[in-house]
Copies of this chain bind each other. A is one copy, B any other.
């Protein structure tokens, strides 16, 4: 017997037939003798509908009221899944964030979970009752509903698994697991049986949308064994685990890409102390997040060129800020470019292997792909390239690091 948390995302409960199928997956685990808590997202695009209503009634909405509106989606799906389980003869009841409660801080719209009261749920699990928990929502100190930010149901599930000391937290979604690359781009991409928390964290923040970044952080911190698997196909997914559970570590576990960035180049910036602070200070003040930065000395030796990336939907704001400080930063030419993509390779094996960056640059050069900016961490290397080359680059890197053969390896 194990204690499981099963989380179903919006695509897994998008209509009543899918809700019944999800209930059948839960029934199978219950009949196998497991204690099960279910965490559920809103049906399909319901959260988007509610978010849109809120923004349309007033762009300057009160986030406390936003939370009241958007949390209604999970309330509906939790009730429906409880009914579907009962219909299959499985004892079940729904739990809303305020009923358990999931205590959070008061940062409405992107609250963090402080503590989960589990006594009553544990008592009922031990009696064989399935707890169907509305994801994404909690209770603030003011007795008002909070929500955890988009994708927050993953975090709800991991936090509940941690609080319940569950044996595993299964994240049911519309893909079969974590792949070596996006299978829509790389036909030979393979599902990974296991991946480390660190790798998953990098992949999640670098464009893989399969898990919310914060949920992976939390799973790593509390040692929650995560599994990402499909609600449509009955087979094991990808286990996210500690590094020491993976016997043979690959140098590179996956290739990913993100369209979320835009590039800004400033040419002929006066090359004097403090100029970088004079540029990035005002951007930070305007809440523009700057990611990759590269600075070159210009040919004339008196000025410098500066290239950096910002979130794509902040590009206009960033350019506006830069134009407003044009005088202070010298006669800079501001060149915004949204047509870039960040391609990354991720793997814990990089730590112990030299030459990974060199191999990456070589593989891209062979395809005549120009690298615009580079950034690295201990277990990942990201490069910014022209967006047109996205697929070509991902495929080249997938081959270069022998990920085409990963099925044989695992």
Do B62 and A82 touch across chains, with their CB atoms under 8 A apart? yes
Instruction: Decide if A19 is an interface residue (CB 8 Å cutoff).
Output: yes
The contact of A66 among B66, B79, B93, by CB within 8 Å, is B79
Q: What is the chain B residue whose CB lies nearest that of A20?
A: B57
Do A54 and B83 touch across chains, with their CB atoms under 8 A apart? yes
Contact status of A54 and B69, CB under 8 A, knowing A64-B93, A98-B98, A99-B143: no
Instruction: Decide if A65 is an interface residue (CB 8 Å cutoff).
Output: yes
Q: Nearest chain B CB to A75's CB is how many angstroms away?
A: 5
Give the residues in chain B near A19, CB-CB below 8 Å: 57
Q: What is the chain B residue whose CB lies nearest that of A69?
A: B79
Give the residues in chain B near A84, CB-CB below 8 Å: 57-58
Do B58 and A83 touch across chains, with their CB atoms under 8 A apart? yes
Give the residues in chain B near A53, CB-CB below 8 Å: 16, 76, 80
**Copy number in this complex?**
2
Instruction: Decide if A60 is an interface residue (CB 8 Å cutoff).
Output: yes
Q: Nearest chain B CB to A192's CB is how many angstroms away?
A: 35
Q: How many residues in A have their beta carbons less than 8 Å from beta carbons of B?
A: 39
Do B79 and A75 touch across chains, with their CB atoms under 8 A apart? no
Q: Nearest chain B CB to A174's CB is how many angstroms away?
A: 21
Q: Nearest chain B CB to A389's CB is how many angstroms away?
A: 43
Q: Nearest chain B CB to A233's CB is how many angstroms away?
A: 23
17 cross-chain CB contacts under 8 A: A16-B56, A19-B57, A20-B57, A54-B80, A57-B87, A60-B87, A61-B86, A62-B86, A64-B93, A65-B86, A65-B93, A68-B76, A68-B82, A69-B75, A69-B83, A71-B75, A72-B73
Q: Nearest chain B CB to A242's CB is how many angstroms away?
A: 38
Q: What is the chain B residue whose CB lies nearest that of A58?
A: B87
Do B75 and A61 touch across chains, with their CB atoms under 8 A apart? no
The contact of A94 among B58, B65, B79, by CB within 8 Å, is B65
Give the residues in chain B near A78, CB-CB below 8 Å: 68
The contact of A69 among B69, B71, B76, by CB within 8 Å, is B76
Instruction: Decide if A175 is an interface residue (CB 8 Å cutoff).
Output: no
